[in-house]
Structure 1
Amino acid sequence: MDPSLTLREILPFGTGHMPEIVDLWVETWSKTLPAIDFEARRGWFVDHLVAARDDGQAIRVAFTQTGDAAGFLMIDPATGYLDQIAVGSRWWGKGIAEALLEEARRLCPDRIELDVNQDNPRAVAFYRRNGFVEIGEGVNPRSGLATLKLEWRASMPAALKA
């Protein structure tokens, strides 16, 4: 197995990870929603990441066997709100997103809530496969795109998680 595609560990975010995480965020979202100029949103994301860290959100980075940052997550342990899981396109389908979601569940074992763009069928399917159910709809305030509000609860009956 290619070590550059294999998860080694998930670590807490450090300031030194900032360039890799920001580049990964721009690349991933540019590929996911190409109609939006995520390069132009780079500064916003840096500010968002710093504010999340300063507000006590848990930010974790997934590293491969070769030390590449393959993905990250941002979750608020106080509320269970998952701001995002982002995985570089090179690592799509390699288990990185699942490992990050497992880490999110470790950090918030009772309940996780998130908003996902309806125009991101890959993410919607991922969350539904992993036991999230729709609890509402909304609109992303930055893009104006329709969103789904999804929730996972540890106590949710298995039939609802499927």
Structure 2
Amino acid sequence: MDGCQDPQLRPAQADDLDEVATVWFESASRMEGASAMLPSREELRVRIDRELAAGWLLYVALSGGRIVGMLALKPADAKLDQLFVHPADQGRGVGRVLLGLAKSALPGGFSLRTPQANRRGRRFYERHGLDCIGEGVHPGMGTPVCFYGWRGLPAGDHGNRIWQ
């Protein structure tokens, strides 16, 4: 992908989900602070179906006809649940474009968590206007995490949102 050209974004389709699971697995397994307890690609694929049924909004970033990134939102909880870019496509603006989509889709703000050891990811979020709002432990893996929040656009009650 050319670093000057933004990827195409669209909602994920049923025939994208295997490739989404692959991007998620490849990226998560190479992330700083990746847990040895990381689910397999097959387990992630099953989780995608479960999360979609529970209300996930899933988007893909495409470049050259292939999926290079994924964004999963939980709008009912104002959460950015997953944002992953294939390792071969990192550093080319895909994450920035996906994060911009999250800000557009959840204009009132959102929160997310990332492994505390994921220094690159944490720098990315901070560069793009998210604030570290706390630390904790991943509920499934037991590893240290950092919570980030984006307060959203200053309109209505959105500015009064309390981040947890």
Q: Determine helix, strand or coil for the equivalent of 2:76.
A: coil
Superposed displacement of residue 18, structure 1: 1.4
Superposed displacement of residue 131, structure 1: 1.1
Summarize the alignment of residues 35-114 of structure 1 with structure 2, pairs less than 5 Å apart.
Answer: 36=36, 38=38, 40-64=39-63, 66-114=64-112
Q: Determine helix, strand or coil for the equivalent of 2:52.
A: helix
Cα deviation 1:20-63 (Å, max 9, x = unaligned): 1111111111111466264x532331222112211222100000
In the alignment, is the contact (CA less than 8 A) between 2:21 and 2:45 conserved in 1? yes
Moved more, 67-76 or 25-34: 25-34
In the alignment, is the contact (CA less than 8 A) between 2:71 and 2:98 conserved in 1? yes
Superposed displacement of residue 11, structure 1: 0.9
In the alignment, is the contact (CA less than 8 A) between 1:117 and 1:145 conserved in 2? yes
Q: Determine helix, strand or coil for the equivalent of 1:128.
A: helix
Q: 1:116 aligns with which of 111, 114, 122?
A: 114
Superposed displacement of residue 6, structure 1: 4.5
CA distance in 1, matches of 2:89, 2:74: 25
**TM-score after normalising by structure 2:** 0.84
CA distance in 2, matches of 1:99, 1:79: 22
In the alignment, is the contact (CA less than 8 A) between 1:137 and 1:147 conserved in 2? yes
Aligned AA (1:135): I
Cα deviation 1:121-155 (Å, max 9, x = unaligned): 11111111111112221111232210011110123
Over 4 Å off, 4+ runs: 2-6
Structure 1 residues 5, 24: CA separation in 2 closer, same or farther (over 3 Å shift)?
farther
Moved more, 99-108 or 72-81: 72-81
Aligned AA (1:22): A
Superposed displacement of residue 3, structure 1: 5.4
CA distance in 2, matches of 1:76, 1:137: 20
Q: Determine helix, strand or coil for the equivalent of 2:112.
A: strand
In the alignment, is the contact (CA less than 8 A) between 1:70 and 1:91 conserved in 2? yes
CA distance in 1, matches of 2:48, 2:107: 23
**TM-score after normalising by structure 1:** 0.85
Corresponding residue of 2:27: 28
Structure 1 residues 35, 105: CA separation in 2 closer, same or farther (over 3 Å shift)?
closer
In the alignment, is the contact (CA less than 8 A) between 1:81 and 1:113 conserved in 2? yes
Alignment length (residue pairs):
154
Superposed displacement of residue 78, structure 1: 2.1
Q: Determine helix, strand or coil for the equivalent of 2:80.
A: strand
Percent pairwise identity: 27
Gaps (5+ residues) in structure 1? 158-162
Q: Determine helix, strand or coil for the equivalent of 2:77.
A: coil
